[in-house]
Every structure is written in C-alpha cells, then in structure tokens.
Structure 1
C-alpha cells in the first residue's frame, strides 16, 4: 500500500506554454518514491476551472510503472496511464521516446545548462501550486493537493519533437520558459476535498 503523503526525489524538465492553451509539459525521472523509481510525462492545464476556482489540473499523464498508475489515481485523482519510456543520451542531455499501448505518445529532447540555483515552492501563491483533480476513486467531488518542491533549478531546453498524442500542436509553438530541476524533492500531501 502507498497512501499519501508521498516524498519523492528525482530530476525534471518543464516547459510552460501560452498557447494553444496555457499549460506546461513536465518530464520527470523519480529516483525515489514510495512505489520505487519511475518516469512520467504530463500536460498540466494552468488556470483550469474547479470548485475551488482556477487551479492547475493534470489532464494527461503517462508513467512507467503500474504501481504509480494505481496510487496516483487513488490518492489524488491524477489520471495516470501506463507507458514505455526509451531514454537516449545522458541524464543531462538526450531524448526520450514514450509509447502508450504500442503507439507513440511523445518524443522529447532535453538539455540543462548553466548553474543550478536553489529553489523552493514556498513563495509561490498557494492556488498556483494546488492541483485540483476530479476524484477517480468512484466517489463524487474533487481533490485539492498543495504540492511542495525544494531543489535546484537551471535554464534548459525541452524540445517537443512530437507530442500530438500528449497535447496537440506543441511541436508548432515555442514555450515561454523552460527549466530543468537536476535534483529536487517533491511532497504530495494528503489531499483535501473540494
């Protein structure tokens, strides 16, 4: 069993977009979690409507282990699906091809560069870092999860070679900002109902 809270460690890349809809692509490699190491890629809609007002919402996410699928859906209403991640290159620079049920989901290229500076989510306003997810455990309602992050952040590139099955049109637009988190600690607490 792996109920919340979860404390996770790993590295990540994030690209924030203004269009076709405000949102962000996140690519994460967890080296430690309550269900072991796993990889994930997701689209987070920014300012999505919810009972608590506009909040970030994970609308598409794929992960590399069935345990992460099961507990992400049960604990926080995160709509995880199972996928296969093929990594090429080094942890700092390379590409990843992701397939879901044998079909391409996304092909991303990533690179971090420059100095990595300390970062914390504490100064970020709470609504901006509180996920609002419809419950997926058979109950009505929503879960609100205020995510915590500490670690180091640096400039990066997260290029979308192809992500039509993740989020249509991302390969034709440039992100507003892209960062890498070469080492980070993520905290997913017990959610609260909305």
Structure 2
C-alpha cells in the first residue's frame, strides 16, 4: 500500500525518557554513518507504540532516539533503530521520511493489575521484553511543550544517489499520560540497546494520543 504523507495516527504507548551516555550510544546505539559524526547527546527516548489507526492501518512500533544531532546548522533528534509490525509501515516509513524501519512481531498483553507486558521478536527470537505499570493521575501531554521538536533522517528512497540528502520532519502529538514503572526488562543487544543498563529520567504511559507526521522538508 502506497500512503504518502501527511499521516494522522492514534493509539497508546510507552515513552522512556533518558540521558543515554555517549559510550553506550557509540557501542549499542546502531548509529548510521551520517549520525556518527553528528551525534551530540543530551536527552533521548525509547518509544513502544500501539497504533490503533494510521494511513496503513493498525500496527505496533519500537524505536530508539539516542539524543540530539547537529546536521549543518540544524539541531534535531534522529531515529537510529526502529521496528514495526507492518510491512506497509516499513515501506512507507522508509520512502516518506527516511525512517529505517524493520519488521518485527509484537505482543501487548494487559495484566489483571493494570500493568502491560510487552514482547518484541524477530523470526521467533524475542529481543525485548518488559512490564510497565502506570500509576498516579493522568495529565495532558503535547509536543507543544517541546518547541522545535523535529526528526532528521537520511533519505532511503534513492539508493546510490549522491549526495544522499536529509529529510526533516516536524511531527506533532497530544494525548493523556500517567507515570509508569518498568520491571522485568530484558534486551538482546544484537537487536536493540540494552535498556536494563539505563536509569530513565521518566517513563510515561500515554493514552488516546493523536499524532500527525507531515510532509518532510528536503535538506
């Protein structure tokens, strides 16, 4: 399915916000060559998302943003590793925004105590599992709290093209969130950074969010 931008997506998810030490990112962050020289650090995130609706239907997603990058005169976030549960999302993500999506299988289970058990696997090999339990009151969350939030990716739709070029995307999102506690975190570093080594600054369970991924800007 060909689904050009913009996309509007809705769903629920888990956001882990952390400072990932540079040695950790260099060793386990799956940085592409164009990201290696641009990496600056600061705050990054891991997101586990259960999209209920999108331009290519429901799908699930796991992504890693190591922190900020400096591309020329532009400072931006950049995704270095990402898995989704839809081949249509893989193809369109790579074509539309240069997002290096790979296919994986996801299991999201809600437990009796309100926690959620999540497992991500590829070819029958589980490489990430965790349990997240939300707590406390709900509060609004929006990308408007982060003015200038943007993601820069290298073009993936022109194999062999020189120079490859960059795509800058300014997504927007809003929803409700609660604080969450993680437990039972297990990661296979051949597939994803070892989250058990990281002490997050915050973990948020996000509910009923709405996100827009617009047409990117060529850089």
Question: Would you call these one fold, judging by a TM-score over 0.5?
Answer: yes
Residue number in structure 2 paired with 1:46: 67
Partner of residue 167 from structure 2, selected from 116, 138, 143: 143
Residue number in structure 2 paired with 1:57: 78
Name the structure with the higher strand share: 1
Residue number in structure 1 paired with 2:199: 174
For these two proteins, the number of residue pairs brought into alignment is 192
Contact kept, 8 Å, 2:16 with 2:204, in 1: the verdict is yes
Residue number in structure 2 paired with 1:116: 138
TM-score, with length taken from structure 1: 0.91
Structure 2 CA distance for partners of 1:73 and 1:179, relative to 1, 3 Å? same
The structural deviation recorded for 1:166 is 4.4
Deviation string 1:107-131 (CA, Å, 9 cap, x unpaired) is 12212222211222123121xx100
1:185 equivalent in alignment to 2:192 = no
Residue number in structure 1 paired with 2:3: 2
1:52 and 1:29 mapped to 2: Cα distance?
34
Contact kept, 8 Å, 2:127 with 2:192, in 1: the verdict is no
Partner of residue 78 from structure 1, selected from 94, 99, 114: 99
Gaps of 5+ in 1: none
TM-score, with length taken from structure 2: 0.81
Task: Give SS of 1:36's match.
Answer: coil
Contact kept, 8 Å, 1:73 with 1:79, in 2: the verdict is yes
1:159 and 1:43 mapped to 2: Cα distance?
19
Gaps of 5+ in 2: 23-42
2:192 and 2:44 mapped to 1: Cα distance?
10
Give the greater-gyration-radius structure (CA).
2
